[in-house]
Amino acid sequence: MNQTVHFQDFDRSILVKIFPLPLLYVGNHITGLASTKKLSLPMFTVLRKFTILMTMIMEARLLRKTFPNHLIYSVLAIVFGIANPDISDLAFDAEGYTFILLNDVFTAASGVYTKKKLGTEGLGKYGILFYNAFIIVIPALLASAFTGDLHKAITFEHWLNAPFVSCFLISCLMGFVLMYSIVLCSHYNSALTTTVVGAIKNVAVAYIGMFLGGDYLFSWTNFLGLNIW
């Protein structure tokens, strides 16, 4: 109403313009939740770093970008840090590793395609945010109904609990802030920069997960590898 946000009105061309972002978004969430369930927080956080390498490769292939040698060496150093704890993971879970690697692919592809779609006429950063969320509403509802999650949400007993509702609404607000920040960072920088900046938070997650997660198995090789990345 204040003419602050501008993006193209919906028509059939929108589906073509934004594809495959909604699919990547759904795949990212499904594999992310599945891998979080299977892996300890420190290992989940470390294996997420493969996203950086995958993003760099996809940018080179899809966006025809070139990278200086010092940046390539930095990414390889991160991968070396990942490989160290990965090999000695005492709680190895093949299914969990599969989910997290798929999650890395979806995350990297989502970042690269977001950068690519930002240059699409009519979309822009606001159009990408709005239509990406709008298009996946129906598939998300159908998936929730099929898995039984929708019924659990409807019959959840704390919907009238003020502290829970407050936290839930704050979570929704911060979800929007997170998505907007990611798109905005991709708009002004590269997809690789967005991925690297987003990985900084995982330093705290890994260390906190060692003490609070309850499922981290300590070994010196694994611990040193965690510190390298």
Q: Which residues of the chain have pLDDT under 50?
A: 85-87, 90
**According to the model, what pLDDT value does residue 25 have?**
86
pTM: 0.75
**According to the model, what pLDDT value does residue 162 have?**
93
**According to the model, what pLDDT value does residue 213 have?**
60
**According to the model, what pLDDT value does residue 195 have?**
85
**According to the model, what pLDDT value does residue 63 have?**
87
Secondary structure string (H, E, C) spanning the chain: CCCCCCCCCCCHHHHHHHCCHHHHHHHHHHHHHHHHHHCCHHHHHHHCCHHHHHHHHHHHHHCCCCCCHHHHHHHHHHHHHHHHHHHCCCCCCHHHHHHHHHHHHHHHHHHHHHHHHCCCCCCHHHHHHHHHHHHCHHHHHHHHHHHCHHHHHHCCCCCCCHHHHHHHHHHHHHHHHHHHHHHHHHHHCCHHHHHHHHHCHHHHHHHHHHHHCCCCCCCHHHHHHHHHC
